[in-house]
Amino acid sequence: MTAAREHVRRALRALGPGGVIAGVGLILILIAVVSPGVIAPRDPLAIAPSEAFSPPSLAHPFGTDESGRDLFTRVVHGAAASAGIGLAATGIGIAAGLVLGFAGALGPRWLDAAIARVVEVLFALPTLVLALLLVAVIGPGTQASILAIGVATAPGYARILRSRVRGVARSDYVGYARHEGAGPVTVFVRHIAPNTLWPLVATATLGVGQAIVWVSALSFLGLGALPPSPEWGAMLNAGRVYISTAWWMTVLPGLAIVATATVLTVLGRRASGAGSEAT
C-alpha cells in the first residue's frame, strides 16, 4: 500500500495541477464516450417542437435546438461520434506514419529518398487543405472525413518517427548490440522499437485532439457527419444559422470541442515530457 501511494504521489506530482484537472476531464470524456446515458439519460434525437430554441435553464442546461432537442444530451452523446472519428483518423495516420517512417529510416537510400519526397510534397499543404482536397476526390461523409484526416496527418507522424529511428539506429547501445552479434530483428524489437514508439504515442495524444478539431471543421462545412447526428461539428453547422438568436446552439458545442482538445493537449505534453525524461 505504501509503495502504491508513493507511485500515485509521484504521478500526481509529475502531472501537476493542470495535468490532474485534464485527467479528470479525460475521465468524464471517456464516460461520455463509453456510456453517455450515465451523464445524459435522455434521447439525443428526441424532438419537442414546443420547446424549440429554449435558452439554457435548469431543465435544459445547454438549451434546446430548432427541433426542441436537449443540447446537453446531444453534446454528451456526441462525444462518442467526435472522439471516435478523431481516434479512427489518428489510427490511420499513425499506421501510415509507421510504415513510411520505419521504411524510410531502415530501408535502402533510394526508398528513403522517395518517401522523403512524398512526405515533403504532402507537408507543403496544410492538413485541413489536404483533407479538403481528399474529401473532394472521395466524396463527403463520415468515412471519407476519417480517411482524409488520417492521410493528411500521416506525413507528420512519418517525419517524427523517421528522425527518431535514425537517431536510435546510430546510437552507441545499438552499435554495441550489433557488435555482440544481435541480428536485425533482435535489434529492432529490443532497442529501436521501444525507444521510438513512446514519443509517437505522446504525439498521437496531441494528434487526437487536433483530429477532432479538423473532423469537426469538415462537418461544419457539410463534408463530414450530417444532421441530425449529434457530432459536434454537425451541431455547429446546424447552429450557425441561428447564431444571432440562439447563440447556445453554436457556442456550447464549440466549447466541448475546445475543452476536449485542451485536455488531450495538456496530457499529451505531460506524456511527452515524461518520455523525454525517461530517455
Say whether 69 sits in a helix, a strand or coil. coil
Neighbouring-strand partners of residue 64: 70
* Region of residue 225 (left: phi > 0; alpha: psi -120 to 50; beta: else): beta
Would you give the end-to-end CA distance of the chain in angstroms? 28
pLDDT in the model for residue 254: 93
Residue 124 C-alpha cell reads as: 507543403
pLDDT in the model for residue 274: 53
Query: How far is the C-alpha of 106 from the C-alpha of 169, rounded, in Å?
Result: 8
What DSSP string runs through 213-228?
A: HHHHHHHHTTSSS-TT
Residue 153 C-alpha cell reads as: 496527418
Q: Is the dihedral of CA 203, 266, 33, 63 positive or negative?
A: negative
User: How many other C-beta atoms lie within 10 A of the C-beta of residue 269?
Assistant: 16
Asked if 162 and 100 touch (Cβ cutoff 8 Å), the reply is yes
pLDDT per residue of the chain (279 residues) written in tens, 0 to 9: 565 566 557 666 766 777 788 888 999 999 999 999 999 999 999 999 999 999 999 999 999 999 999 999 999 999 988 888 888 999 999 999 888 888 888 888 888 888 888 888 887 778 888 888 888 888 888 888 888 888 888 888 888 888 888 888 787 777 777 777 777 778 787 778 888 877 777 778 888 888 888 888 888 888 888 778 889 999 999 998 899 999 999 999 999 999 999 998 888 777 665 554 545
Query: How far is the C-alpha of 160 from the C-alpha of 206, rounded, in Å?
Result: 13
Say whether 64 sits in a helix, a strand or coil. strand
Asked if 202 and 114 touch (Cβ cutoff 8 Å), the reply is no
